[in-house]
Structure 1
């Protein structure tokens, strides 16, 4: 549903004035650091006002909002590329793999099909350029990149009469991160930067999701409620929003889950209310992730998929090579 129609529906059912609704949507988008679209923020505002918009649409995610660890994902996307069949042998058994790259107007994501799953492409009669609907799939991280998995419950079906314009992004595998200075990041893509954390935004480091539909939920007096599934036991996810600096420039950098734990001192034992204070501010890290434009701030930020300590021996070797080149 488009934003203006969402706002119109909220005004109609809640009785709250349009200007106030728009103000709340902007505040919610700012609160979530641009991690969701304005439409997503509007759905949250509607839920807070007791307006159920989910009955107006099917429960689907956009690719840019998919993070590792989600279940029961429903997605409508266009097939950007289907790889050739890769035949391999593992532990004496033959196997097959097809990589399917899916896109929508927000991004691209990989869906690997293993062994018997490869038959789905032939049975469903799908090809590059087709629009498909995925149901009951889940997301996992592979070598630092979030991708989809079909699993035993996942379904793929071809969708007719739906047009999707793909976001202009390169299709890359899970190991291709371009080394860059922060100052040189001027478009969306996958980057590796060496930078230190210089600031941590002091807000709650957790958010909560409905385990059935992955909707962000808020706590009320008697527990957590999802607009669709009513009272639920939510999935708790860690998120840390930071500013990083590499000497050329600075930018916002967001860490989720186990990746976020990596930058916390004594992560397994620190009290939850001390998490932000225990982030290793000032320490250099190798950070790999996806740079995207924050719709609220108008600036690029990195959604981190992998973080590691700087290997100083390798760094010294790189510096020696640079110095040698200058002398020559």
Structure 2
């Protein structure tokens, strides 16, 4: 049947009965109350629609369908396409701010597969909620009617569901056996396709780094935690294990190729631009293949150098004392506390090798550049009352500061509303107090010391300093110096 949103169903009832929206909402509440709260709005509306004879005549009706097009025959020259396939991945709705009017919008996605290929389908605003309806699930057979073909920023085709588009679940004229179902347990997400708040995630990946278990105290409870980093052919991501699940994770070692099901994706606490996966109660972990640890030494060392050293080792000075800016007089590592004192009017974005993170022209990799990405550089002025210093943020530290990815920043500063973008970030950041750690370097150009930032945290109150220091320092590393 064609999926209608709650508002569309209410409008159907209004057209049929002449009742007002408030009268229909009252009837919905009465049905829910009659069933003692055991039904939701969706079910209540369904009951009301049946009462007015809308089920067969108005909702479960056939749509006018042109010839269904195989996915591998789709191209951007086609318009108002009809495509049939099975849903094999669902990305839940997320909010965004439109550049045209600065209003909130909603977008969701699902991956459609037929016997010829796969394609992502993008739903906007009210229709983005379709993916949360009861009939919309993995392996559901669906027909897209009047879809629009567009290219994404990677050059791949997508189907966009517009105002004139429809989705038809389990179309009666389609032989379902012609569209084989996937085995959900054997279906694995690629790491690069994960988004915040996704649930029931299955992945197949290799363990490339495994931290030592730690004991932490949280809300008067003693908890154990273990973090492992895994990698597939699209990227890497940390997985968090808690308490008794730490014991399960300890059975596996670096190099193991594993299959994990039932994971949950969330934003990292210290860096909202990056994700981590959480191993929960219903999660399962299974060994696929055990590889000699020595054979993955190069992979592990490269990962530690590229991803971990910048997050851990290089940010540990030999002291935990907070320094005054006026006392920075040598090329050493310093911790400072200060506020952002000057407006930001320039952010530099450059193309970089994804391997060494350097500009393309400065790439020092032995191998030919395999992947190119964008990295950001941002200079801000920090004032601590004793003086000011220019602080330079690189890469993911810029993303953390602005809570945006490099590609999003690039789109904003190159767009028509770039002035408005800078105005927004200045309103958000000017006067914000930070706890920063970095290495001082003397600039011949400015004839003073500047600070290259390794890590930082926002400060909301003076009492938070003691809580924030452990986030940018590791006590065991400091004590070992």
Give TM-score, length-normalised by structure 2: 0.33
Larger relative contact order (CA 8 Å, sep ≥ 6):
1
Give TM-score, length-normalised by structure 1: 0.46
